């Protein structure tokens, strides 16, 4: 029940109508017995600074930040976590003395999602498809987790080159190598972990994959699609048809929320509780 002691957390972004975050956080609050509500706050362009100041003044405990404000919000924070500062994007604000501290739980959430499926990046050779925002977060995780080598495949080579230079510089190692998607036959003859970070296959364009050629999928032992809508993407189907294991991005979404909730409330959410929230998310999606 909402009463005089209820704490508030929320999401700022534009648009926010289709977010699953209220499901994640309100389910967690109920499970933990916390008197907390989580609500979406649509914020108009140019109003981010005001929104963050207002949130602090209203004693809001924590905020998530989504598109298009993940970088812009940095200017309104009193402190930024090291990895979030490196990537220059935050999705979680935690109330501290005098203002909010920013974190990037998209990256740590992807890590925890991969750990939960026993997927390791350390020492691995990885194929990363795409060079947009989602792939950029995955690229920083590959660097932070000490991947041996990452081939960054993109339709537009210039974007792959730019991201490659940025992350090689950020980690001070020549781990990343740019490649055109169509050049995949030039990859070394071995099996890779592949992370699908392009927007191809995203609903309502279900049934599309960025590469269709079965020869590509025979090089993949594990395929992780950052897309979760549809629940079973064409990329995942192609990975499985070629004998690999395939995962979608719903657990990344789950764990970015769980880590934010843990930061706000200084609790640890068990794997058992995480799976209950995951079931609730699946129910909401009807999958």
The residues that touch ligand ATR, with contacts defined as CB under 6 A, are 130-135, 154-156, 159, 198-200, 210
* Residue 125 or 208 having the CB closest to ligand ATR: 208
Nearest approach in angstroms of CB 209 to ligand ATR is 10
Nearest approach in angstroms of CB 92 to ligand ATR is 18
* Residue 56 or 176 having the CB closest to ligand ATR: 176
Nearest approach in angstroms of CB 284 to ligand ATR is 21
* Residue 60 or 138 having the CB closest to ligand ATR: 138
Q: State the Cα–Cα distance between residues 231 and 250, nearest whole angstrom.
A: 8
* Residue 181 or 269 having the CB closest to ligand ATR: 181
Supply the DSSP symbol for 166.
H
Nearest approach in angstroms of CB 226 to ligand ATR is 8
Q: 245-247 and 176-180 as β-strands: parallel, antiparallel, unpaired?
A: unpaired
Q: State the Cα–Cα distance between residues 75 and 89, nearest whole angstrom.
A: 11
Helices (H), the chain: 21-32, 48-57, 82-87, 105-116, 133-144, 157-171, 214-217, 234-241, 250-265, 271-285
Q: Which of 70, 101, 251, 280 is catalytic?
A: 70
Q: State the Cα–Cα distance between residues 207 and 168, nearest whole angstrom.
A: 34
Catalytic residue flag (residue 149): no
Write out the catalytic residue numbers.
70
């Amino acid at each position: 029940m909402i009463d005089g002691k209820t704490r508030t957390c929320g999401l700022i972004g534009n648009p926010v109508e289709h977010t699953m975050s209220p499901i994640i956080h309100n389910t967690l609050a109920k499970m933990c017995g916390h008197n907390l509500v989580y609500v979406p706050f649509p914020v108009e362009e140019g109003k981010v600074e005001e929104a963050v100041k207002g949130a602090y003044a209203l004693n809001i405990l924590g905020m998530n930040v989504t598109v298009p404000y993940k970088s812009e919000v940095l200017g309104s924070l009193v402190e930024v976590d090291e990895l979030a500062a490196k990537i220059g994007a935050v999705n979680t604000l935690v109330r501290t003395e005098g203002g909010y501290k920013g974190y990037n739980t998209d990256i740590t959430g992807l890590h925890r999602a991969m750990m939960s499926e026993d997927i390791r990046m350390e020492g691995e050779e990885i194929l990363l498809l795409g060079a947009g925002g989602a792939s950029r977060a995955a690229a920083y995780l590959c660097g932070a987790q000490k991947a041996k080598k990452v081939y960054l495949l993109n339709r537009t080579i210039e974007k792959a080159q730019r991201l490659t230079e940025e992350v090689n510089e950020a980690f001070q190692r020549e781990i990343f190598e740019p490649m055109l998607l169509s050049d995949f036959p030039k990859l070394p003859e071995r099996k890779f972990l592949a992370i699908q970070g392009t927007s191809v296959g995203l609903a309502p364009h279900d049934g599309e994959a960025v590469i269709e050629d079965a020869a590509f999928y025979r090089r993949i032992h594990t395929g992780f699609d950052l897309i979760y809508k549809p629940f079973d993407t064409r990329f995942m189907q192609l990975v499985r048809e070629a004998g690999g294991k395939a995962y979608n991005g719903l657990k990344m979404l789950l764990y970015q929320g769980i880590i934010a909730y843990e930061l706000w409330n200084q609790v640890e959410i068990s794997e058992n509780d995480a799976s209950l929230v995951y079931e609730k998310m699946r129910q909401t999606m009807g999958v």
